[in-house]
Amino acid sequence: MEIADNSPLWRYTTMKVGGDAEHFCQPAGAQELVDVLDLCRKQRKPWHILGGGSNTLISSAGVPGTVIRMTQMTNVQTLEEDLVEAEAGTRLPHIAKHAASLGLSGLEFAVGIPGTIGGAVVMNAGAHGSCMSEIVESVTVFDIETWQIRVLSNKELSFEYRNSAIDPQKQIVLSAKLRMKKDSAEKIKAQTQHNEDYRWRTQPIGTPNLGSTFKNPLPDKSAGFLLDQSGAKEMQEGQAAVSALHANFVVNLGGATSQNIVGLLHRMQNLVQEKHALHLHPEWKTLGLFTPEEHTVWK
């Protein structure tokens, strides 16, 4: 496994934004991952995990330390008739269509989410009224504090809305076991296609973005609705803009920086606070060098 120096990260994110990683590697399995972590520990250098890059804003100023991209860990096994195990780097659309081909229902919601199993478990990703917590039986992680592999049950994961008990700084997802239900393959494929078509109609799929920007502040108040009602559509900061198609999506018009994007998020938050007296909190994670002022968007 090669460890590259000064590697541009913009190419590994769906927003196409990001500076250079001081060091960068892509382990093909758990042992290579542990080897990299061992090296970082011996050198006393920071490390960072990157999945599919669909829910992470990478700083244009770069990322010190080693960025470990998990997307080469993609092995999928059928363990039982209704139980599938997928490694952390497996793309959600891939595993959703694979499950559909097996006549397994439960991942139809994930077909349009451009993330990986690892990230989806950590943030309890969801769409169309379903989420990962409904199908995750257990998750295998590498525990940084004990330097051992552990298996966490669904109960131990303490899933919440867009959150879980997994701390990415202390536990790295290696794989997840997904328990689904047998159903008609035709029915599952039809629902999967319906969800995929819906996303293409309602979200800016063809333009670089990181997925939904803000969490819904209340069960009956979606962030998209609040932003739309507040007049946020097509707001712009540099080359970052609020999508004209869906107000809870920020898009890169070409050449946007992380500074542009953070500035736009701050304005979106202020707008909804002013119009509806509600604070919006980003779904995205951050990676790299951000100023204290920029970090206030996530507080």
Q: Which residues are catalytic?
A: 162, 212, 283
Element (H, E) at 266: helix 258-276
How far apart CA 173 and CA 30 sit, in angstroms, is 10
- Overall size of the chain counted in residues: 299
How far apart CA 281 and CA 295 sit, in angstroms, is 12
Q: Could you tell me which residues are beta bridge partners of residue 80?
A: 83
Name every residue whose Cβ is closer than 8 Å to that of residue 186 and which is 6 or more positions away in sequence.
Answer: none
For 264, the 3-state DSSP assignment is helix
How far apart CA 123 and CA 48 sit, in angstroms, is 16
- Side-chain half-sphere of 229: how many Cα atoms within 13 Å? 13
Give the strand pairing for 181-182 and 236-237.
unpaired
- Side-chain half-sphere of 266: how many Cα atoms within 13 Å? 12
Q: Answer yes or no: are the C-beta atoms of 150 and 140 closer than 8 Å.
A: yes
